[in-house]
């Protein structure tokens, strides 16, 4: 795997291997995709201070997340339909994370169920919860996460209503895919993916089918899902969920200082600064541009996690320098999974760890606790206007399917 040197290398391979609707699901945002683009591009505008003639031997990248040891200050974020990027994708990603020594988060909208992942791993993982109108279903999901031994609950707050994602609508995204002529023509170009999917029984939303009332077919599943995201979700709902869950609670989707202050008052264990990967409110600032002011406001009161745009170990270090205690990756590991399954997730983690280690050394640091604004050249950055896409390998130019 020596030729996979960057997360971008894995992305290109993922694009070649996965059907269009599933690759596009992972690698796109809502409306104009401005916030999605800015999440990634904003990191390039943050410059690091290089220091020299400092003892940089014996560097240590390990840390703690929610009080538990981790080999990196990093975890795998929840991503829906991971099992459609690669057969049994959630199980494979969870195994890779377990072996590497970082947490894995299972999405409510996963293909492999909570029970599937628990049966195929040996250590606890995290569970991400969407709040549905059917609160009985929500309570049951929390009970299932407890029964599976999940060690933290990640409550997503920024999806009360679904942001419009044009690629998903144009592609007719479903799981499993609906066999239209257009979809069949695309699947024919991806035989390895098709063979892999034929070898697994997991091809639809495992946490919903067989558990939600009235969901017995593809049409009933789509109707149920479209109607269930709950626009009445508010801070009192968070209190109710806390009463159902007695473990560590992370509130994901915080992108505003005032919301961060309220989140602290709920008694949650951590917040995740996130704009849902640019998949919800298009036109919102990049997560990294919101991080410093949120960290300044509440960083001494709650553990701060960061999500959005990380594609390298340098990005992780920048997030830590600007106030995060922990970072998470979503697309970066999904590219690896879509490229090579479990080995690809491991490779993504290896890439990020090596880049972070070298960057930390060249900044003159050996301990995570010493990383801070002093490592950022020119001080804490401020938001800048949206511009063009970050530099990428042009997929058409290399003949990607």
pLDDT of residue 283: 96
Q: Is 276 a catalytic residue?
A: yes
Q: Is the pLDDT of residue 50 over 70?
A: yes
Q: Is the pLDDT of residue 393 over 60?
A: no
The average pLDDT across 34-48 equals: 96
pLDDT of residue 379: 73
Q: At 401, list the tokens.
A: 């399917």
Average pLDDT value over all residues in the chain = 93
Contact (CB, 8 A) for 103 and 75: yes
- The residues pairing with 252 across neighbouring beta strands, listed in sequence order, are 156, 272
d(CA 25, CA 173): 8
d(CA 300, CA 58): 28
pLDDT of residue 386: 45
Q: Is the pLDDT of residue 395 over 70?
A: no
% of the chain exceeding 90 in pLDDT: 88
Q: At 177, list the tokens.
A: 């895919």
Residue 292: count of CB within 10 angstroms of its CB:
21
Give the CA radius of gyration of the chain.
Answer: 20
Tell me the pLDDT band of 18, cut-offs 50, 70 and 90. Answer: very high
Which residue is associated with the tokens 């592609």?
Answer: 171
d(CA 158, CA 327): 18
CA distances (Å), origin 150, targets 28, 105, 204, 347, 351: 29, 9, 22, 25, 27
Residues whose CB falls within 8 Å of the CB of residue 376, separated by 6 or more in sequence, listed in order? 46, 47, 48, 49, 318, 321, 322
The average pLDDT across 257-275 equals: 98
294-322 tens-digit pLDDT: 999 999 999 999 999 999 999 999 999 99
Q: What angle in degrees, to the nearest 10, is found between the helix axes of 287-298 and 34-44?
A: 70
Pairing of β 63-65 and β 68-70: antiparallel
Q: Is the pLDDT of residue 1 over 80?
A: no
d(CA 381, CA 98): 35
Distance from the first to the final alpha carbon of the chain: 21
Contact (CB, 8 A) for 351 and 4: yes
Active-site residue, from 14, 15, 190, 276: 276
Q: Which of 155, 153, 172 is nearest to 230 (CA)?
A: 155
362 CB burial (10 A radius; 0-12, 13-18, 19+): middle
136-170 tens-digit pLDDT: 999 999 999 999 999 999 999 999 999 999 999 99
Tell me the pLDDT band of 382, cut-offs 50, 70 and 90. Answer: low
In degrees, rounded to 5, the angle at the alpha carbon of residue 93 between the alpha carbons of residues 7 and 197 is 100
Q: Which of 256, 239, 253, 267 is nearest to 297 (CA)?
A: 256
Which CATH code fits 7-368?
3.20.20.70
Note the residue count of the chain: 401
What is the residue extent of each domain of the chain? 7-368
Q: At 44, list the tokens.
A: 């390039």
Contact (CB, 8 A) for 287 and 39: yes
Contact (CB, 8 A) for 125 and 103: yes
- Is 149 in a helix, a strand, or coil? coil
181-196 tens-digit pLDDT: 999 999 999 999 999 9
d(CA 35, CA 280): 9
d(CA 270, CA 75): 13
């Amino acid at each position: 795997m020596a030729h996979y040197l960057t997360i971008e290398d894995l992305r290109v391979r993922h694009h070649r291997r996965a059907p269009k609707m599933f690759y596009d699901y992972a690698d796109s945002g809502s409306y104009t995709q401005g916030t999605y683009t800015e999440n990634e591009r904003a990191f390039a505008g943050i410059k690091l201070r290089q220091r020299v003639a400092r003892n940089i031997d014996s560097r240590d990248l390990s840390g703690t997340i929610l009080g538990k040891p981790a080999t990196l200050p990093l975890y795998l974020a929840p991503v829906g339909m991971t099992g459609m990027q690669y057969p049994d994708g959630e199980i494979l990603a969870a195994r890779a994370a377990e072996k590497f020594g970082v947490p894995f988060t299972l999405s409510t909208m996963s293909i492999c169920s909570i029970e599937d992942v628990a049966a195929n791993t040996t250590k606890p993982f995290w569970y991400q919860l969407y709040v549905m109108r059917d609160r009985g279903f929500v309570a049951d999901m929390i009970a299932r996460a407890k029964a599976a031994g999940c060690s933290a609950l990640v409550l997503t707050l920024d999806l009360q209503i679904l942001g419009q994602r044009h690629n998903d609508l144009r592609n007719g995204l479903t799981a499993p895919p609906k066999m239209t002529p257009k979809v069949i023509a695309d699947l024919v170009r991806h035989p390895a993916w098709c063979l892999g999917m034929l070898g697994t029984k997991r091809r639809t939303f495992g946490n919903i089918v067989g558990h939600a009332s009235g969901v017995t077919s593809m049409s009933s599943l789509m109707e149920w899902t479209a109607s269930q995201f709950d626009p009445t979700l508010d801070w009192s709902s968070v209190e109710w969920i806390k009463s159902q869950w007695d473990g560590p609670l992370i509130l994901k989707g915080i992108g505003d200082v005032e919301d961060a202050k309220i989140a602290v008052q709920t008694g949650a264990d951590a917040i995740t600064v996130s704009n849902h990967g640019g998949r919800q409110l298009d036109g919102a600032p990049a997560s990294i541009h919101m991080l410093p002011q949120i960290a300044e406001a509440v960083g001494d009161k709650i553990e701060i996690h960061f999500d959005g745009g990380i594609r390298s170990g340098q990005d992780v270090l920048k997030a830590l320098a600007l106030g995060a205690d922990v970072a998470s990756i979503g697309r970066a590991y999904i590219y690896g999974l879509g490229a090579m399954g479990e080995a690809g997730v491991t490779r993504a983690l290896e890439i990020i760890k090596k880049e972070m280690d070298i960057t930390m050394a060249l900044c003159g640091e050996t301990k995570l606790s010493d990383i801070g604004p002093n490592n950022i050249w020119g001080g804490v950055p401020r938001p800048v206007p949206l511009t063009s896409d970050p530099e990428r390998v042009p997929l058409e130019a290399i003949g990607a399917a």
